[in-house]
Structure 1
Amino acid sequence: MSTRVTLILGGAASGKSAHAEQTCFNSEKRRVYLATSQILDREMRVKVDKHVVQRGDGWTTYEEDLELSPILDSLEQQQICLLDCVTMWLSNHLLAGSDLQVVQQELLAAISRCKADLVIVSNEVGMGIVPDNALSRQFREAQGRLNIALAAQADCAVLVTAGLPLILKGAV
């Protein structure tokens, strides 16, 4: 089982990734970054490059858009892993036609097996209006279920809004 699981939730551009990075910097463990986004256009490339600069040196980086279990299983107790983010991971699976319940259960099992501390970033997508199309509604519902399951499994859950963290569960 992982030593400690911290879930960082927030809306888009809320400061959740910066807060998650700072959480990792506060640890004396070796830092690992597990990136889940697919870089399909220039805008995403710019965003990813900005995050790389913001993090700085001293990270071992893995890029994996679907199969997180092998990487999580390979981590060691003396590491802290920033998983950024499960929202992109879930979106990738939805668009790939995966069974979302199955992949969610696989992710939760991998988290429980992981030996490293984990800091998991996820978007809170349920605070806006009801989406106008079925795919968006399916995603919103799946993301909500995933966030509930991650929060239940986490030792600490933090909501970040306007760059300000609000502890929902546990202690920092």
Structure 2
Amino acid sequence: MKILVLGGIKSGKSNFALKLGNEFPEPRIFLATAQAFNKEMAEKIKRHRRERGQNWHTLEVPLELPQILSEIESCGVALIDCLTVWLGNLFYHQKDVDSYLKSLLDSIKNFSYPLIIVSNEIGLAPVPADKEIRMFAESLGLLNQKVARLCERTYLMVAGRALII
């Protein structure tokens, strides 16, 4: 079972994904993509860790998500939070985005345990004027489409409510 949870900022997607994940047996693996680039992000990471509690084994994967995903040997469920931040990390560190995306899609396709994937739906916003931000938004939109095709279920979070797509 592969599930994609999409939504905007503060739409409730991470909390919803955790609730879904807690329905699966342990071990539960949380694949955290965020990096603490500043104090605000460090506080957000701490808050998310508290919200997860002790039911999740957390792996920090700001860049090598495809590799780590392919190395998981056994789990009740894995949860990626989130593709938006991971893709932003790739842009920030000037990685070969196309290569990483292909590897990620292959890893998701071949993952044999339940997998929940969180990502932002940013396609409802205006087209960014800045070329780099526009490239990021377009890359994320295309990634979300490809991931959704690999998933049995996709949710869109709106104001804390899950809509099945």
Contact 2:81 2:117 in 1 (8 A): yes
Range that drifts further, 10-19 or 23-32: 23-32
Shift of 1:54: 1.0
2:126 alignment partner in structure 1: 129
Q: Is the 8 A contact 1:75 1:116 kept in 2?
A: no
1:50 corresponds to? 47
Aligned counterpart for 1:13 among listed residues 6, 10, 13: 10
Please name the residue that 1:65 is paired with: 62
Instruction: For 2:100 and 2:64, locate their aligned partners in 1 and report how far apart those are by CA, in whole Å.
Output: 9
- The runs of 5 or more residues in structure 2 that have no matched partner are none
Residue 106 of structure 2: aligned partner: 109
Take 1:92 and 1:78, find their aligned partners in 2: how far apart are those partners? Answer: 26
Identical counterparts, % of pairs: 37
Aligned to 1:101, the other structure's residue is in SS state helix
Q: Which runs of 4+ in 1 moved over 6 A?
A: none
CA contact (8 A) 1:7 1:121 kept: yes
TM-score norm. by structure 1 comes to 0.92
Secondary structure of the equivalent of 1:17? helix
RMSD: 1.2
- Give me the whole-angstrom Cα distance separating, in 1, the residues matched to 2:96 and 2:140: 13
Decide whether the 8 Å contact of 2:33 with 2:83 is kept in 1.
Answer: yes
The aligned runs of 1:15-164 (5 Å cut-off) are: 15-164=12-161
- 62-71 or 157-166, which moves further after superposition? 62-71
Aligned partner of residue 31 in structure 2, secondary structure: strand
TM-superposed CA distance for 1:77, in Å, is: 4.4
Query: Match for 1:32: what amino acid?
Result: I
Structure 1 gaps of 5+ residues are none
CA contact (8 A) 1:34 1:82 kept: yes
Give TM-score scaled by structure 2 length: 0.95
3-state DSSP class of the match of 1:111? helix
